[in-house]
Amino acid sequence: MNNLARYRTYRGVARALHPQLLQILPSSQLMHGARLLGVVEHGTITLESEDESSVLMDFVRAPIAAMRYLKETSGLSSAQRIVLQAFTDSFTSLFRVQERNPHRGVHLASQTTGALPGRPACRPR
């Protein structure tokens, strides 16, 4: 399987897991993430498409929810286990570019967790 096919497989598995993770995720965490993304109007999350729903879920999915689902659910496929483990090992944030340096990359500040001190997000090739 090439990388694109692997990505599509795992992305499909992740999307299929979103409803189960949503049931475990505290509603306050979902609302907080929706506010950060600017998709709350008059106290209600307003999404225009299923794609926006996936973006919201990718943004707010908590490693704890994924870890709990992984531990409590039997009969998971290997692809589901890989995706859930990736969820537990990762974090999502919004980043603001603080500084660009053509020789060193960029310095970012997380809009949700504070500055990432002096760690370039990517380096020029």
The pLDDT of residue 71: 93
- Tell how strand 105-110 and strand 114-120 pair up: antiparallel
pLDDT tens column, 60-112: 776 778 888 999 999 999 999 999 999 888 776 778 888 888 888 888 887 76
Mean pLDDT of the 13-37 span: 86
Cβ count within 10 A of residue 69: 20
Dihedral angle computed from the Cα positions of residues 65, 80, 56 and 93, in that order, rounded to the nearest 10 degrees = 70
Residues with Cβ within 8 Å of 70's Cβ and at least 6 positions away in sequence, in order, are 76, 81, 84, 85, 88
Residues with Cβ within 8 Å of 49's Cβ and at least 6 positions away in sequence, in order, are none
pLDDT tens column, 43-53: 999 988 877 87
- Looking at per-residue pLDDT, the higher value among 6 and 1 belongs to 6
